[in-house]
Amino acid sequence: MKQSALLLAIALALGAATPALAQHSAHGAPTNVAPVADIVFTLRTEIADGKLVFIGDAGAIKGQVNPDLRVPEGKVVQINLVNGDGALHDIAVPDFAAKSDQLSDKGASTTIVFRATKAGTFEYYCTLPGHKAAGMVGKLIVGDVKQVASTAAEIAMDPTKVGQPVGNRAAQNLEISMVTKEIEGKLSDGSTYRYWTFDDRVPGPFLRIRKGDTVKINLTNAPDSVNIHSIDFHAVTGPGGGAAVTQVAPGQTKSFTFKAINPGLYVYHCATPMVAHHISNGMYGMILVEPEGGLPKVDREFYVMQGELYTAQKHGTQGLQEFSLDKLLNEHPEHMTFNGSMDALTKTYKMEADVGETVRIFFGVGGPNLTSSFHVIGEVFDRVYDLASLTSPPLKDVQTTLVPPGGATMVEFKVDYPGKYILVDHALSRLEKGLAGFLHVNGKADDTVFKTDQAHDPNSGH
């Protein structure tokens, strides 16, 4: 048994104050620290929601994923690590030169001890290649670090905002007004971006009309905008899909009218040069043109769009992220999102359904550059309306469907078993850039559908 693990076992067995432990430096040489730890945390390695993570294993942090570890300045901190998944792991706090032994056996444990000699927010993480990027990273907060309330706006679109089905109504004359705004919005915890939006959200509002409707579009550019904006509807037959007549300066409004000739699910976006820049910054959305008689009824409908952000700062950097033209032209996004932010469909909004219900997802790719391999882990699409054609027979029993930038699809499936199902682009490196969403399915487990010999909480996600 490693020295640190042995000393930890002795301490736990005695049930007394923690004895002197060796702190492992970056070079592996032990150095002496204070004989008694003032604060002790225990973490467990696990796989949860498709990521490698640390989970609090005792005390106030028990059950928390990558919990914040808060300690007073100057105190001696002990972090116990228990291997919960059987893979090779360690834990390190580089700012305090603390690094543990590596653990490879499930149930094995190790410990680091160090003095928190300076105030601030620091990282703890697994140093194994790829493990930090896969999710094994958390915050060590030392001292009275003030949590400054973010002034960034919530720009993420609620996936349940799908509008009212048209049903069996006749064609109508409609008027839709939208506003383009440039706002600093929340990208993730601790990071923001200067988004360009339709109606303060990314993607813009889900518009729902019927084949044969005559629609007047009013596009207003907010007075405090810096840029000209416009709108191109892929559902529109006419110059630029409307963009040719809606190049709107700040503080102005322009309008056009179109007839909805073709049913389908269509992307709209800003088409002001450079177009890719405007789209990447968040200026995209979808419009559903329902066929005569409407769509078949389902129990749940969700609106999900995939996007890319090209920033000068690397993924995971805190603070305001700045746009990078070079990365856009090289098609190298630092961040990828569902519904505008990295947390939109995992923390900000909750997609839910009950066992036995049929789910419909309106899925599109704003882009501007990358094709999506849309997949829901643990589910099979009963019907896929390929390329969002609503007049073609749907594909059946599909695992993953391709959606190009500026394209869309509509998928439907019955949920048969409770649990947390992860929405991904199956180009799975993108998961590490923020591209994930959860569909929570509630209800009673059916052993004829799925059965495990191990104790399992179907809503835990792991």
DSSP characters for 156-167?
A: BPPTT------T
- What is the distance between the alpha carbons of residues 14 and 12, in angstroms, rounded to a whole number? 5
At residue 183, the pLDDT reads: 97
- DSSP character at residue 406: T
- Which residues of the chain, if any, have pLDDT below 50? 1-34, 459-462
At residue 214, the pLDDT reads: 98
Taking the CA atoms of residue 93, residue 97, residue 102 and residue 107 in that order, the dihedral angle to the nearest 10 degrees is: -50
**Phi, psi (degrees; rounded to nearest 5) at 117:** -85, -5
In the numeric block, the tokens 């300045």 are attached to: 73
At residue 8, the pLDDT reads: 45
Q: H/E element holding 135?
A: none
Nearest to residue 225, comparing CAs of 179, 269, 192, 191?
179
Bridge partners, residue 173, by sequence? 214
- What is the distance between the alpha carbons of residues 27 and 400, in angstroms, rounded to a whole number? 46
* C-alpha separations of 117 from 111, 141, 357 in Å: 19, 12, 55
* Single-letter amino acid code for the residue at 320: L
- What is the distance between the alpha carbons of residues 307 and 283, in angstroms, rounded to a whole number? 10
State the pTM of this model: 0.81
What are the structure tokens assigned to 244, written together?
């040719």
- DSSP character at residue 94: G
What domains can be seen in the chain, in order of their start residue?
Answer: 3-142 (2.60.40.420), 173-290 (2.60.40.420), 300-442 (2.60.40.420)
